[in-house]
C-alpha cells in the first residue's frame, strides 16, 4: 500500500472578493503547509487554486500516518534507584512517574559503563484522516481576512457564504464538518455552464475534471495566461495594442471561471475627451482593457473578459457597449460644464470645502502648503513662481463636476483644465504630480515644482492631522498618514534631498493656529516617519538590525539616515563587521554597568598596558578622520576606517582587564571605551548588528 | 415585456416563494431599504419574508427629463428574507430566467459591492449583479442595521426595474419604455413620468425653499426624539424618513457645506439608531411574536 497520496481540499462559496482572492488563496496554502508540518505529517509541496466561487489546494504526497515516534528516556543509575532492601527509591519512583508508568515496567540500560533505569516506548503515529480536519479548521480561522461575514441563521463566519466542502485524500473522503458543511467528494462546475454536481473519485482528477466537466479553470495562473493569449489574438485583429495593467489583470482573473475575451466599440467622437477620463471609465469603473494605436493614442475599442462561452456573444457585446456610452456621455457633459469656469476662479470656493473640522478649509490648507512649498522650492532649486501658482490651483479641481463624479481623476483633471485655461505647463504638471506616489510602485513627481508641492502637501497633512487626531493607532489609517509618510520619505531619499525633517515640520507647525499645539506633535511625526523606514527598507531587503543600528542615532535627516543604512548594510557583509559588532556589544555591556562616564577625560599617563596604549593612539588618529568623512556623508569610507580598529580592539579585550581593582585605572579604561563608543555612534550602534 | 408585466412576474414569483407581497410605502425615500418592511423588520430574531415595489427619490440625480439614463424618481423591486435562505442566489437567478434573461447567452456576474448606509447606521456585504456589464440589481447580506448586529442575517435583493426593462425592451432611453400595451395603444414610461421629472428637477435644484427645509429638518428631528420618549415608534421612524428626504433635497440644492453635510448625516443616523433600538426593545417586550414556531 502507498504511504502517501495527494490531498485535495475545496471550499465552494458565493462570489469571493476579487481584489484579495489571489492573496487569500496563497495565504491559505502557506498556513496549511505550516500547520501540516507542525503535526508531523510529511508532504512534497502544496499548490493553491482559486476561482470566484472556490478556494482550493492540493497537498502533494501527503503521508497517511504520522511517523511512529520512539520515545527513550534515561533514568537514575541503579545504585541510587533501589535501597538496601531492593525497594525502589524516591528517585526511581519519581522517574517512573515522569514517564507515566511504574518502576516494574522500566528496563535498564548501560550508559558509560553505569547501569541506569531506562524507559522506552513507541508512540503510534496518528492518521491524516484524524488530523487533517483540525488542521484545515484551524487554518481557515488563522486566515488573515479583513472582513468576515455571517449569513442565514448560523454563527459561522467566512469570506462569503459557504456551499460545499470537498476533502479527498487520494481516493478517500476525509470526513469533517468544516464551516458548517459536511465534507464529501463532490464539487460543482461553472454557475451556468455546469451547475450540476461533479463526483471526484480521486484527488488527482481535480484540475482536469473541473475543466472538462465543469467548465472551470481552477488555476489562477492558467486563467491569467488564457486572458493574455486571447488578448494578444484580439490585438492583432484590431491592429492595436493593449497594456495589461497587472493589478487589473489579476482582478479580472479573479472574477471569471471560464474567461472569454470579447471586443466592444464606442463612438469615435468620444476620443476627443481627455484620455485619462476614457481610460479611467474603462479600467476602473468597467474593468475593460483600453486598446491603443502604435503611437499610444486610444482607439475606439475596448477588450473585456466575459465569464460565459456563448455561441453568439452579440448581446453580451452590445450590452457592454450600451453601458459605456452613457458614462462617456456623462463625462462629456461634465467637461462642458466645468469648462464654463476657469480653475483659478474656483479658488474662493475652496473656503467651502472642509479639510478637517479642526483644521479649517482647503483654502487655508493651500495657503499653508504654499509657505512650506516655498521653503522647499528654495532648498531644492525649484522655480518659486511656478510653485506658488501651482499652490493656488492644485486643489481647485476638487470643485469640478468631473472630479466629484470620478474622484480618481483628481490632479489629472486639474492639470487638464489648467492647460485649457492657458496656465504654464509646469504649473499643470505640478498639479497632476503632487499626488504621486499614490501607492507602492508608483513613480515620483518628475519635476522640481511637482516635488516641492508633493512634499509640502504631505508635511502639512502630517502636522495637521497629528495635532487634531493624535498618532494613528493600529492598522486603521483613515487619513492616509502611512501613505503620506512613505511618499515623503521616498521623495527625499530617492531624489537625495538634504532636507531636515525636523526643520520642515516645525516650520509647518508654526503656520497652524497655536491652540492646536502643533509643535508638540513634531517629534511624534519624526518617529512615525522613521518607523515607516522599516517597511521601506524591508522591500529593499535590508535587514532589520541594520535599520535599528542606524536609527539609534536620532537624526531627522532622511538622506543622512539612508546613506548610513546603505553603508552599514554593505559593511555588514564584510568579515570586519562581525568583530566590530562583537566589540560594540562588549562595550555596551560594560558601559551599561557603570554610572556616569561622559564627563571623564582620558588620562594618557594612566594607560598602563600596551594594548590600551595602542588602542588609544589609533583612536586619537582616527577620530578626526572619521568625523570628517562622516560629516561629508562618506559613510562607507568612514566604516572602512573604523574597521581598522578590529585588531587593536580584539587585543584590548583579550589582554586588558577593564574592571581593574584600581579605581583610577578602571575609570580611565571606561573613559577609553566611552570614547570608542561615541566614535561608533557617529554612524551606527554596532551592538545591534546580528 | 411591458414595465407593468415585469412587476407582475416578479410579484408572482416571490409570492410563490413565501414572500408577503406589500405595496410601496407612502412616503418619499431614497431606497427601498428605508421601507419599514426592510429597515425595521431586519431587526431582531423574528423571521420575515417580503417583496414589494418601492418608488425611490434621489433629488440629486434629476436631469430635467433630458438624460435618457438618469431619474430623480424611479422604482426598485425589493425582496427581503430573514434568515437569508441558503439558495437565495439561485432563487434570484431563477427569477431572471422567468424574465427570459438566458444565463448562457448573457454574462451575468455577481460583482463585489459592499453596501453601507451612513444615515441608517447599516452595512452589509454583497454584490451588484451585472448583466453584460450593466448593474441590474443589488444583493446584500445585512451585517448590521441601525447599529445593531443583524442576527439572523437578512438577505436583501433589489431589482432596478427600469434597467431590467430597458434590457428586455432593448432601448437606450428610459422614457421610451413601454409601460403598458393594449393592441395598438401604448403608454410609455415618458407618458407617465416625464412631466414629473421636469417639474421635480426644477423644484429640487431651483425652487425648493431651503430656509423652510432646514426648519422642517429641525422639527422632524425633535418630533422623532419626543415620540421615542413615549415609545411611539412607527411615527418616530417616519420622521427619520422625512429628515432623510429633506436632507437629500438640501444636498441637491447645494445648501450644505462638506462639513455640515457630514453632521446632518450623523444626526439622521442617531435618530435611525435610536428608532432601531426602541423597535428591538418593543418587539422583545412583546416576546418577539413572529419568532414563535407555528
Q: Do B172 and A325 lie within an 8 Å CB cutoff?
A: yes
Alpha helical stretches, state H, A189-291: 206-212, 220-238, 246-253, 275-280
Tens of pLDDT along A451-496? 999 999 999 999 999 999 888 876 667 788 999 999 999 999 999 9
pLDDT of A541 reads 85
Q: What percent of chain A has pLDDT over 70?
A: 99
Q: What does the pLDDT read at residue A656?
A: 86
Interface of B with A in 159-188 (CB under 8 A): 167, 172
Are B61 and B70 a contacting pair, CB within 8 Å?
yes
pLDDT tops 90 at residue A645 = no
Lowest mean pLDDT among A24-33, A243-252, A654-663: A654-663
Mean pLDDT of chain B: 95
Strand ranges (E), A338-450:
354-356, 360-361
B129 touches chain A (CB under 8 A): no
Task: Answer whether A319 sits within 8 Å of B133, measured CB to CB.
Answer: yes
Q: Where are the alpha helices (DSSP H) in A381-438?
A: 384-393, 401-405, 412-420, 425-433
Average pLDDT over residues B261-272: 89
Closest Cβ–Cβ partner in B83, B107, B259 for A307:
B107
Determine contact, residues A58/A46, Cβ cutoff 8 Å: yes
- Give the pLDDT confidence of A559-587 residue by residue, as tens digits: 999 999 999 999 888 887 887 888 888 88
The alpha carbon of residue B117 is apart from the nearest alpha carbon of chain A, in Å, by: 17
Select from A624, A287, A611 the least CA-distant residue to B135. Answer: A287
- Tell if the CB–CB gap between A18 and B106 is shorter than 8 Å: no
Q: By CA distance, what is B87's nearest residue in A?
A: A163
* The model's pTM: 0.78
pLDDT given for residue A596 in this prediction? 59
A157, closest residue in chain B (CA to CA): B143
pLDDT band at A598, cuts 50/70/90?
Answer: low
Q: What is the mean pLDDT of residues A85-96?
A: 90
Residues 71-90 of B with CB under 8 A from A: 83-86, 89
What domains can you pick out in chain B, each with its CATH number?
Answer: 3-203 (3.30.930.10), 209-291 (1.20.58.180)
pLDDT digits (tens, 9 = 90+) for A224-241: 999 999 999 999 999 999
What is the average pLDDT across B208-216?
Answer: 94
- Indicate which of B42, B90, B112, B176 best probes the interface with A, i.e. most A CBs within 10 Å of its own CB: B112
Q: Closest-CA residue in chain B for A180? A: B86
Task: Judge contact between A399 and A413, C-beta under 8 A.
Answer: no
- Among B161, B157, B153, B158, smallest CA distance to B41 is for B153
Residue B294 has pLDDT above 60, yes or no: no
* Coil/strand/helix, residue A236: helix
**How confident is residue B279, by pLDDT bands cut at 50, 70 and 90?**
very high
| A196 contact residues in B (CB cutoff 8 A) | none
In this prediction, residue A414 carries a pLDDT of 96
- In this prediction the ipTM stands at 0.95
Q: For the segment A239-287, what is each residue's pLDDT rounded down to a tens digit?
A: 999 989 999 999 999 999 999 999 999 999 999 999 989 999 999 889 9
Size of the A and B interface in Cβ pairs below 8 Å: 102
Q: What pLDDT sits at residue B259? A: 58
pLDDT confidence tier of residue A679, bands split at 50, 70 and 90: confident
pLDDT at position A1, please?
A: 45
- B171: nearest CA partner in chain A: A322
- B141 alpha-carbon distance from chain centroid: 15
When CB atoms are compared, the residue of A14, A18, A192 closest to B104 is A192
- A17 to B112: CB separation less than 8 angstroms, yes or no: yes
Over residues A510-519, the mean pLDDT reads 92
- In this complex, the residue of A52, A193, A357 whose CB is nearest that of residue B259 is A357
CB contact under 8 A, A149 and B152: no
Residues A218 and A450: their CA atoms lie apart, in Å, by 45
Pairing of strands B20-22, B48-57: parallel
Query: Does A600 score more than 80 pLDDT?
Result: no
Residues in chain A closer than 8 A to B155 (CB atoms): 151
Average pLDDT for chain A: 91
Tell me: the pLDDT tens digits for A107-165? 889 888 889 999 988 888 899 999 999 999 999 999 988 789 999 998 999 999 999 99
Residues of B in contact with A193 (CB under 8 A): 104
* A497-509: average pLDDT: 95
User: Which are the contacts of B75, defined by CB distance < 8 A and separation ≥ 6?
Assistant: B53, B54, B55, B56, B161, B162
Amino acid at each position: 500500500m502507498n504511504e502517501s497520496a495527494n490531498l485535495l481540499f475545496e471550499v465552494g462559496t458565493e462570489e469571493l472578493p476579487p481584489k484579495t482572492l489571489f492573496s487569500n488563496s496563497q495565504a491559505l496554502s502557506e498556513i496549511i503547509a505550516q500547520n501540516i508540518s507542525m503535526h508531523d505529517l510529511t508532504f512534497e509541496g502544496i499548490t493553491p487554486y482559486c476561482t470566484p466561487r472556490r478556494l482550493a489546494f492540493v497537498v502533494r504526497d501527503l503521508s497517511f500516518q504520522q511517523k511512529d515516534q520512539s520515545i527513550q528516556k534515561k533514568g537514575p543509575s541503579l545504585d541510587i534507584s533501589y535501597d538496601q532492601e531492593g525497594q525502589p527509591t524516591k528517585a526511581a519512583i519519581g522517574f517512573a512517574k515522569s514517564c507515566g508508568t511504574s518502576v516494574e515496567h522500566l528496563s535498564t540500560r548501560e550508559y558509560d559503563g553505569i547501569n541506569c533505569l531506562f524507559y522506552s516506548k513507541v508512540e503510534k503515529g496518528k492518521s491524516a484522516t484524524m488530523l487533517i480536519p483540525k488542521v484545515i479548521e484551524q487554518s481557515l480561522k488563522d486566515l488573515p481576512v479583513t472582513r468576515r461575514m455571517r449569513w442565514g441563521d448560523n454563527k459561522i463566519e467566512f469570506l462569503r457564504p459557504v456551499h460545499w466542502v470537498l476533502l479527498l485524500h487520494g481516493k478517500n473522503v476525509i470526513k469533517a464538518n468544516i464551516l458548517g458543511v459536511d465534507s464529501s467528494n463532490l464539487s460543482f462546475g461553472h454557475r451556468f455552464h455546469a451547475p450540476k454536481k461533479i463526483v471526484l473519485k480521486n484527488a488527482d482528477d481535480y484540475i482536469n475534471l473541473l475543466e472538462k466537466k465543469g467548465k472551470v479553470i481552477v488555476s489562477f495562473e492558467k486563467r491569467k495566461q488564457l486572458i493574455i493569449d486571447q488578448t494578444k489574438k484580439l490585438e492583432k485583429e484590431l491592429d492595436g495594442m493593449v497594456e495589461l495593467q497587472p493589478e487589473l489583470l489579476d482582478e479580472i482573473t479573479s472574477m471569471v471561471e471560464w474567461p472569454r475575451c470579447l471586443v466592444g466599440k464606442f463612438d469615435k467622437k468620444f476620443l476627443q475627451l481627455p484620455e485619462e477620463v476614457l481610460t479611467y471609465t474603462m479600467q476602473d469603473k468597467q474593468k475593460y482593457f483600453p486598446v491603443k494605436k502604435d503611437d499610444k493614442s486610444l482607439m475606439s475599442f475596448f477588450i473585456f473578459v466575459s465569464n460565459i462561452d456563448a455561441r453568439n456573444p452579440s448581446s453580451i457585446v452590445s450590452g457592454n457597449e450600451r453601458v459605456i456610452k452613457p458614462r462617456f456621455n456623462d463625462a462629456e457633459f461634465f467637461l462642458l460644464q466645468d469648462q464654463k469656469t476657469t480653475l483659478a476662479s474656483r479658488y474662493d470656493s475652496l473656503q467651502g470645502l472642509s479639510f478637517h473640522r479642526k483644521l479649517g478649509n482647503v483654502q487655508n490648507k493651500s495657503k499653508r502648503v504654499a509657505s512650506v512649498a516655498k521653503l522647499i522650492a528654495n532648498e531644492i532649486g525649484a522655480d518659486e513662481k511656478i510653485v506658488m501658482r501651482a499652490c493656488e490651483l492644485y486643489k481647485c479641481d476638487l470643485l469640478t463636476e468631473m472630479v466629484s463624479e470620478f474622484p480618481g481623476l483628481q490632479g489629472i483633471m486639474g492639470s487638464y483644465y489648467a492647460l485649457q485655461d492657458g496656465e504654464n505647463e509646469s504649473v499643470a504638471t505640478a498639479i497632476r504630480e503632487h499626488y504621486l506616489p499614490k501607492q507602492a510602485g508608483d513613480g515620483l513627481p518628475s519635476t522640481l515644482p511637482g516635488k516641492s508641492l508633493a512634499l509640502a502637501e504631505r508635511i502639512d497633512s502630517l502636522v495637521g492631522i497629528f495635532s487634531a487626531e493624535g498618532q494613528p493607532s493600529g492598522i486603521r489609517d483613515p487619513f492616509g498618514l502611512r501613505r503620506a509618510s512613505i511618499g515623503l520619505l521616498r521623495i527625499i531619499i530617492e531624489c537625495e534631498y538634504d532636507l531636515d525633517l525636523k526643520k520642515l515640520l516645525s516650520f509647518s507647525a508654526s503656520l497652524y493656529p497655536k491652540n492646536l499645539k502643533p509643535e508638540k506633535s513634531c517629534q511624534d511625526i519624526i518617529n512615525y516617519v522613521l518607523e515607516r523606514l522599516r517597511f521601506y527598507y524591508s522591500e529593499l531587503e535590508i535587514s532589520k538590525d541594520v535599520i535599528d543600528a542606524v536609527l539609534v542615532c536620532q537624526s531627522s535627516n532622511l538622506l543622512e539616515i539612508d546613506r548610513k543604512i546603505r553603508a552599514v548594510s554593505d559593511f555588514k557583509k564584510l568579515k570586519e563587521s562581525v568583530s566590530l559588532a562583537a566589540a560594540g556589544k562588549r562595550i555596551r555591556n560594560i558601559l551599561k554597568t557603570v554610572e556616569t562616564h561622559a564627563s571623564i577625560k582620558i588620562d594618557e599617563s594612566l594607560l598602563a598596558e600596551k594594548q590600551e596604549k595602542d588602542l588609544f593612539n589609533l583612536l586619537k588618529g582616527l577620530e578626526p578622520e572619521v568625523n570628517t568623512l562622516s560629516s561629508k556623508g562618506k559613510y562607507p569610507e568612514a566604516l572602512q576606517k573604523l574597521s581598522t580598529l578590529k585588531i587593536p580592539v580584539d587585543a584590548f579585550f583579550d589582554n586588558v582587564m577593564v574592571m581593574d581593582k584600581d579605581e583610577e585605572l578602571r575609570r580611565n579604561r571606561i573613559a577609553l571605551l566611552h570614547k570608542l563608543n561615541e566614535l561608533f555612534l557617529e554612524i551606527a550602534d554596532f551592538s545591534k548588528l546580528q | 415585456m411591458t414595465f407593468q408585466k415585469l412587476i407582475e412576474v416578479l410579484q408572482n414569483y416571490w409570492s410563490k416563494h413565501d414572500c408577503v407581497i406589500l405595496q410601496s410605502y407612502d412616503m418619499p425615500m431614497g431606497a427601498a431599504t428605508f421601507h419599514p418592511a426592510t429597515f425595521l423588520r431586519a431587526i431582531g430574531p423574528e423571521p420575515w419574508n417580503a417583496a414589494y415595489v418601492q418608488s425611490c427619490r434621489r433629488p440629486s440625480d434629476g436631469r430635467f427629463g433630458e438624460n435618457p439614463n438618469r431619474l430623480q424618481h424611479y422604482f426598485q423591486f425589493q425582496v427581503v428574507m430573514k434568515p437569508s435562505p441558503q439558495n437565495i442566489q439561485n432563487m434570484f437567478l431563477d427569477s431572471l430566467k422567468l424574465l427570459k434573461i438566458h444565463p448562457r447567452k448573457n454574462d451575468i456576474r455577481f460583482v463585489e459591492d459592499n453596501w453601507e448606509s451612513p444615515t441608517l447606521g447599516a452595512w452589509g456585504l454583497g454584490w451588484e449583479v451585472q448583466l453584460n456589464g450593466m448593474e441590474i440589481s443589488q444583493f446584500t447580506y445585512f451585517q448590521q442595521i441601525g447599529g445593531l448586529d443583524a442576527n439572523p442575517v437578512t438577505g436583501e435583493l433589489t431589482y432596478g426595474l427600469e434597467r431590467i426593462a430597458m434590457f428586455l425592451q432593448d432601448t437606450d432611453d428610459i422614457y421610451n419604455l413601454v409601460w403598458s400595451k393594449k393592441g395598438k395603444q401604448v403608454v410609455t414610461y415618458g407618458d407617465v413620468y416625464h412631466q414629473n421629472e421636469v417639474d421635480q428637477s426644477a423644484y429640487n435644484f431651483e425652487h425648493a425653499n431651503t430656509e423652510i427645509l432646514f426648519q422642517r429638518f429641525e422639527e422632524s428631528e425633535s418630533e422623532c426624539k419626543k415620540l421615542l420618549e413615549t415609545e411611539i415608534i412607527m411615527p418616530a421612524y417616519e420622521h427619520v424618513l422625512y429628515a432623510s428626504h429633506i436632507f437629500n433635497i438640501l444636498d441637491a440644492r447645494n445648501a450644505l457645506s462638506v462639513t455640515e453635510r457630514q453632521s446632518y448625516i450623523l444626526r439622521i443616523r442617531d435618530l435611525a439608531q435610536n428608532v432601531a433600538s426602541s423597535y428591538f426593545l418593543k418587539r422583545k417586550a412583546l416576546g418577539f411574536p413572529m419568532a414563535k414556531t407555528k
